[in-house]
């Protein structure tokens, strides 16, 4: 019987949350402090847009990563860098990071890998910058990887008409305009400091 199962029995005075194999060692918690029923005020997961978008993104990345690794020994972030440079030659790692909204350290790791594989090449630019370019091998790799990315999109949109896809993309574009506000405290409730 696990700690969670024990918690469901009201006659137990104490519950050791560490009794299950997947829990780190913790102090004993009184059974009266453990919530075993759903709260009244929770997010509706079926209509919470960020969750729906996250599920879609996670599924796409999981599929893409698996296929890219299998076929090319590269990952999704590597593909994103190649794709960005295919459309924006001479972009720097910082510019790619901003364009993709991906952490600079993650982009730098992919850039170094792609340079090592002779798929992109850095050059000397103004003010110490290093514009990046695809090599011919990189362009061929881009063309070979592209169908995997497009295939994921095709799977997702198969049940929509062309007009519905256009409407969806237009609405997503409007949502993207609000992204800069996510870096601010706009809409964040003021929470009083208390013990949780």
Q: All domains of the chain, ordered by start, with CATH? A: 3-33 (no CATH), 49-158 (1.10.10.10)
Count of residues making up the chain: 196
In the prediction, which pLDDT does 20 show? 52
Q: Which residue has the tokens 């514009």?
A: 131
Write the CB contacts of 168 (distance below 8 Å, at least 6 apart in sequence). Answer: 160
From start to end of the chain, where are the E strands? 14-15, 29-30, 120-122, 132-134
Residue 6 has pLDDT above 60, yes or no: no
For residue 149, name the pLDDT band (cuts at 50, 70, 90): very high
Residue-averaged pLDDT of the chain: 87
In the prediction, which pLDDT does 1 show? 42
Residue 11 has pLDDT above 50, yes or no: no
CA distance 27 to 70: 44
User: Nearest CA to 3 among 156, 23, 11?
Assistant: 23
131 and 123 Cβ atoms separated by less than 8 Å: yes
CA distance 78 to 100: 12
Please compute the mean of the pLDDT values over residues 109-127 and round it to a whole number: 96
Residue 10 has pLDDT above 70, yes or no: no
165 and 157 Cβ atoms separated by less than 8 Å: yes
In the prediction, which pLDDT does 21 show? 56
User: Nearest CA to 63 among 71, 111, 47?
Assistant: 71
Asked whether the whole model's pTM tops 0.85, one would answer no
In the prediction, which pLDDT does 7 show? 43
86 and 134 Cβ atoms separated by less than 8 Å: yes
For residue 85, name the pLDDT band (cuts at 50, 70, 90): very high
Per the model's pLDDT, the better-predicted residue between 110 and 9 turns out to be 110
Using CB atoms within 10 Å of the CB of residue 119, give its burial: 0 to 12 exposed, 13 to 18 middle, 19+ buried. buried
User: Nearest CA to 56 among 82, 48, 166, 67?
Assistant: 48
């Amino acid at each position: 019987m696990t700690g969670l199962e024990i918690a469901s029995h009201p006659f137990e005075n104490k519950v050791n949350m560490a009794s299950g194999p997947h829990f780190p060692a913790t102090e004993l918690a009184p059974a009266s402090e453990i919530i075993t029923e759903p709260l009244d005020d929770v997010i509706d997961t079926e209509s919470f847009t960020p969750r729906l978008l996250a599920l879609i993104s996670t599924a796409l990345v999981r599929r893409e990563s698996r296929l890219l690794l299998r076929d090319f020994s590269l990952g999704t972030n590597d593909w994103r860098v190649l794709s960005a440079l295919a459309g924006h030659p001479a972009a720097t790692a910082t510019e790619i990071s901003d364009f993709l909204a991906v952490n600079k350290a993650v982009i730098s790791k992919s850039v170094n890998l792609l340079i090592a594989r002779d798929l992109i090449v850095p050059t000397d630019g103004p003010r110490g910058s290093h514009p990046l370019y695809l090599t011919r091998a990189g362009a061929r790799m881009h063309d070979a990887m592209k169908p995997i990315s497009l295939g994921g999109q095709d799977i997702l949109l198969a049940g929509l008409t062309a007009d519905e896809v256009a409407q969806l993309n237009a609405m997503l574009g409007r949502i993207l305009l609000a992204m800069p506000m996510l870096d601010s405290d706009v809409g964040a409730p003021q929470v009083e400091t208390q013990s949780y």
